[in-house]
Amino acid sequence: MKLGFLLIVLVIGIMLTISLPAAYSKIQSSSNHKLQGDSTFIQKQTQYHKNQALATGKTVGITKNVPVTKIILVTKYSDHVRIGYSFFINAKVYYANQNPSGNFDQYYGFIPNAKVAVQILDPNGVLVKSFTGVTDDHGYYYQEFRIPDNSLIGTYSVLVSAQMGNAIDSKNLTLFIQPRPER
């Protein structure tokens, strides 16, 4: 009994092994697209004239040239900070097509786990501080930095960038460092 069952399973397995490639080939030949081994899609094109096929050709497109999804980086930050006080930056990353106006408070279309980098440059272009991180589940990133007592007074640049896959967006923000308040 067991031997008969095993023989039936073996015969069915052999039949499937023989028939599946033929079935796949038939499906692929009736499809409009074919994926080759070198990651190239071939799209078959057929021109019709009065219900008759006149010519058949092919269009080759490389899958590596798929357009990159655009992202948008939206920021809020403290643009005037006194020495000894904290600079903060809030950043959110969205899919650009879902937030075309750059609304910071939009509740959908955000991108979790996007890489964020922040660099603070003094008035002479010298790097003062840099941060890196990723956005949370709501596409949000927050960083705070106390302005050191020995900081130069003047106009600083804050370079912020976000990356998700191959998509990148960046902002160049202006930060004014002011003297410590008189006591």
**Helices then strands, each counted (H, E), the chain:** 1, 11
Is residue 20 assigned to a domain?
no
Is residue 11 assigned to a domain?
no
Mean pLDDT of 122-141: 96
Q: Do 131 and 60 have their domain in common?
A: no
Phi, psi for residue 8 in degrees, rounded to 5: -65, -45
In terms of residue numbers, what domain contains 46? 33-66
Q: Do 78 and 163 have their domain in common?
A: yes
Is residue 160 assigned to a domain?
yes
Q: What is the pLDDT of residue 69?
A: 85
Q: Tens digits of per-residue pLDDT, 34-58?
A: 444 444 444 444 344 444 444 444 4
**Strand (E) or helix (H) holding 17:** helix 2-30
Is residue 5 assigned to a domain?
no
Q: Do 77 and 40 have their domain in common?
A: no
Last residue of a domain, one of 66, 81, 110: 66
Q: Do 89 and 50 have their domain in common?
A: no
**How many CA atoms, within 13 angstroms, populate the side-chain half-sphere of residue 43?**
7
The CATH number that applies at residue 156 is: 2.60.40.1930
Last residue of a domain, one of 66, 85, 115: 66
Is residue 28 assigned to a domain?
no
Q: What is the pLDDT of residue 33?
A: 44
pLDDT at residue 77 tops 90: yes
Q: What's the structural domain count of the chain?
A: 2
Q: Do 169 and 94 have their domain in common?
A: yes
Q: Do 97 and 112 have their domain in common?
A: yes
Least confident of 15-24, 28-37, 130-139, 167-176: 28-37
Q: Do 57 and 90 have their domain in common?
A: no
Q: Are 97 and 110 in contact (CB under 8 A)?
A: no
Q: Do 57 and 82 have their domain in common?
A: no
Q: Do 165 and 135 have their domain in common?
A: yes
Q: Do 152 and 83 have their domain in common?
A: yes
Q: Do 111 and 151 have their domain in common?
A: yes
Long-range CB contacts (< 8 A, 24+ apart) of 93-98? 93/135, 93/139, 93/141, 93/162, 93/164, 93/169, 94/139, 95/69, 95/70, 95/71, 96/69, 96/70, 96/71, 96/72, 96/169, 97/70
Length of the chain: 183
pLDDT at residue 15 tops 90: no
Round to the nearest angstrom and report the end-to-end CA distance of the chain: 98
Q: What is the pLDDT of residue 131?
A: 94
pLDDT band at 7 (very low <50, low <70, confident <90, very high): low
pLDDT at residue 136 tops 80: yes
pTM summary value = 0.62
Q: What is the pLDDT of residue 6?
A: 58
Is residue 133 assigned to a domain?
yes
pLDDT band at 59 (very low <50, low <70, confident <90, very high): very low
Q: Tens digits of per-residue pLDDT, 94-112?
A: 999 999 999 999 999 999 9
Is residue 162 assigned to a domain?
yes
Mean pLDDT of 131-151: 95
